[in-house]
Amino acid sequence: MVTNGDFSDGAAGWSDSANATLSVSGGYGLVTTSAASNGSSQTISGLTIGAMYRLQGNLKNGANAANTDLRIVTTGGALVSNLRVSSSVDTFVSGYFFATDTQHLIRLLVNASTYPANSFFDNISVREVTALELSIAMRGRMTGGTMTPARWYLNADNAILQQINTSDFTFTQEAATVVDSVTGGAFTSGINVPFSIASRHGSTFINGAVDGTALTADLTPTSLPNLSATNLSLAFSGGPMIIEQFTMWDVDLADAGIEEASA
């Protein structure tokens, strides 16, 4: 929903505030300012009030920049979402917001204590979240018979789990006390035993895959737990465990995708 979010067309689509200039440097949108909290912005239209959207991009600090901010605000200026980094390293940021109007502003801001200052932006995008779904993949090695490689837990009624049992694997999601899970694959306990697993979770499904083979999906779920307010824990219990790779996607990879992710 963003015009020229990768700045491949220079500064087209963006408007500079007073004391700020947007240019392109090294493939990034470079915002330079000579006063506090200035930057560039654009209006995105066609939002559905109450719908959820994802704002994301790459940010990094430049000269004298204490903070680099990617913001969504209302046309009246009220803050809806703010993503910030304080690093000169290119950092991917992502956040969700609910639209409160059919139009919102995206702002690229430089917040510094010394001026002139600048910040870098790239790959700015806004997408509507049309379904609640995610996929998780993990590979590594473990010692012992049982463990929980991934545990995203809000409370006793809402959680997502990837678990290794004494001889197989279980993938679980619980939403508002309703528990759905799939179990399968084969596992033999030992020392530094390799494992590679993936799972897909949604408001109408859950499934897992082990070593490149998908299990039989459970299509009975009616909701996905809202775990956005709590941390996801890796190597939660059991072990010891070596995590070689962990990946999460905010999309459903489908059975073919989790097979590839766990192969």
Q: Which fold has domain 133-262?
A: Jelly Rolls (2.60.120)
Give the per-residue pLDDT at 181.
Answer: 96
- pLDDT tops 80 at residue 200: yes
Residue ranges of domains in the chain: 15-128, 133-262
Each residue of 43-61: b (16+ CB within 10 Å) or e? ebeebeeeeebebbbbbbb
Q: Predicted confidence band at 130 (pLDDT cuts at 50, 70, 90)?
A: low
Residues 206, 218: Cα–Cα separation, whole Å: 5
- pLDDT tops 70 at residue 147: yes
* pLDDT above 90 coverage of the chain, percent: 77
Give the per-residue pLDDT at 64.
Answer: 93
Q: Predicted confidence band at 162 (pLDDT cuts at 50, 70, 90)?
A: very high
Residues 193, 167: Cα–Cα separation, whole Å: 12
- pLDDT tops 80 at residue 131: no
Residues 36, 17: Cα–Cα separation, whole Å: 11
Give the per-residue pLDDT at 229.
Answer: 77
* pLDDT (mean) for 125-137: 86
Residues 118, 134: Cα–Cα separation, whole Å: 35
Two structure tokens written together for 179: 């528990």
Give the per-residue pLDDT at 174.
Answer: 94
Residues 38, 20: Cα–Cα separation, whole Å: 6
The answer to whether 15-128 and 133-262 have equal CATH topology is yes
pLDDT digits (tens, 9 = 90+) for 214-251: 999 999 988 888 887 789 999 998 878 999 999 999 88
pLDDT digits (tens, 9 = 90+) for 1-54: 999 999 999 999 999 999 999 999 999 999 999 988 789 999 999 998 888 888
Please work out, in degrees rounded to the nearest 5, the angle formed at the alpha carbon of residue 127 by the alpha carbons of 153 and 261.
55
The pLDDT mean for the chain works out to 93
Residues 171, 205: Cα–Cα separation, whole Å: 12
Q: Which CATH architecture is the domain 15-128 placed in?
A: Sandwich (2.60)
Sheet holding 28-33, edge to edge: 20-25, 28-33, 117-128, 52-61, 91-98
pLDDT digits (tens, 9 = 90+) for 71-97: 999 989 999 999 999 999 999 998 888
Q: Predicted confidence band at 108 (pLDDT cuts at 50, 70, 90)?
A: very high
Give the per-residue pLDDT at 59.
Answer: 97
Total-model pTM: 0.56
* pLDDT above 70 coverage of the chain, percent: 99
- pLDDT tops 80 at residue 143: yes
Other CB atoms within a 10 A radius of the CB of residue 28 amount to: 20
261 backbone dihedrals φ, ψ, rounded to 5°? -65, -25
